Homo-oligomer: A and B are copies of this chain.
Amino acid sequence: MSNQIPTPSLKRIPMYYRELKRAMENGTNFVNSTQLGEALGIPSTQVRKDLSYISEQGRPGVGYNTATLTNTLEKYLGLHLPKKAVLAGVGNLANALIHFPGFHLYGIDICLLFDNDPEKIGKTLADKEIHHIDEIGLLLKKVKVSIGIITTPAVSAQSVAQKMIAGGITSIWNFSPITLLCPGNIFVLNQDLSMEMAILSHSVINMTNLD
């Protein structure tokens, strides 16, 4: 029963959530599928369809109660639950991520940092000590961590992933430019920014090519 929501729909749920939070801030008590859709560039039918996978809380003639729906989506996405993460590869990207307010807002706590550069071991970033990657197994025995963030160069990524998985991590956010080979029960979210950059490049070419 748990997973018959289509992947494209699932990926839109966070957008609805983001928009609902904004509606909350504006003091809007009810939103309808047309309003949500227009704010996000999505047809209202699709909004209703997507939400129907999760809730049944819309009121015909009225719309969705902002607070109730926000809460439902928050629960569905698990944002209300505290989740621990570790990060490996302490470079500029790691620095940006660790200061990113989103983690805290979405219930994710980056509690451990790792690197393999002797220069960095023992130093801190955002008040968190940087450990040697070889210590990850030992340290993960002490805390239950579900999320691993990989911001290492390509060459280290696969071995880091394996160490994380050995330590009990089940979800990986992979910023490195490599396809990780992982067991099927591990959730891998790939985020190689170069891939997006290439699409951006393509868009520039095609802009000038036509219309």
Contacts and interface: CB of A to CB of B under 8 A. Distances in A.
A41 B206 CA distance: 28
A18 B195 contact: yes
Nearest to A81: B205
Nearest to A192: B18
A79 to B, nearest CB: 6
A209 B18 contact: no
Interface string A132-171: 0000000000000011000000000000000000000011
A30 interface: no
A201 B107 contact: yes
A112 to B, nearest CB: 16
Copies in the complex: 2
A4 interface: no
Interface of A: 2-3, 10-11, 13-15, 17-19, 39-41, 76-79, 81, 83, 91-93, 95-97, 99-100, 102-103, 105-108, 146-147, 170-171, 173, 177, 179, 185, 187, 189, 191-211
Given A93-B96, A108-B197, 15 more contacts: A17-B198, A41-B179, A77-B198, A78-B201, A78-B202, A78-B204, A78-B205, A81-B201, A81-B205, A91-B96, A92-B99, A102-B193, A106-B198, A171-B203, A171-B207
